[in-house]
Amino acid sequence: MSRSQLILTWSAAVSAAGLLFSETFGLRVLIYVFKPLTMVFIVAVALIGMKGDRKFYGTFVLLGLLFSLLGDILLMLPSNLFVQGLVSFLIAHLFYILAFSKGRNLRLKTLSWLPFLLLGVLIYGFMLPSLGEMTIPVLFYMIVILTMGWRAYTRWG
């Protein structure tokens, strides 16, 4: 990790602590500052880390982070932009899936996906009685998030 990345990482941590403090005490103005600022620091770390053979990975992680930042902003605004915020996060997760899948075996025979499937079935089963008209959208969103988690795990593992 470069010196710049280390400084930006610490800046993100301090900003995140400011966000937690602001959320705890309901300091709305500071939330509007620290929530996007934390993500801006994280995006900067990702930008600096994009080099050579990691360009594909870095580009898609960066796109995911930018859509996550947009989702954060849309969800924190007082206007009702909940659906737009969720769509932004959904797009972010699709970019993360692309990044984490590059150069990795997508075959399912290792059963590395099984814990994610079981977790998804348990959570979805618990939520299902209260979903109503959101049954299919929540299922789709959950599949995307679990796939992203599985691809991140296989990339790490």
- Specify the pTM: 0.88
**Residue tagged 């470069």 (tokens):** 2
Beta strand ranges found along 3-122 (DSSP E): none
pLDDT at 129 over 80: yes
Identity of the residue numbered 10? W
Interior CA angle at 154 toward 150 and 156, to 5°?
115
| Per-residue pLDDT tens digits for 44-55 | 999 988 876 678
Mean of per-residue pLDDT scores for the chain: 92
Identity of the residue numbered 9? T
| Per-residue pLDDT tens digits for 29-78 | 999 999 999 999 999 999 988 876 678 888 999 999 999 999 999 999 88
Query: Is residue 109 very low, low, confident or very high in pLDDT (cuts 50, 70, 90)?
Result: low
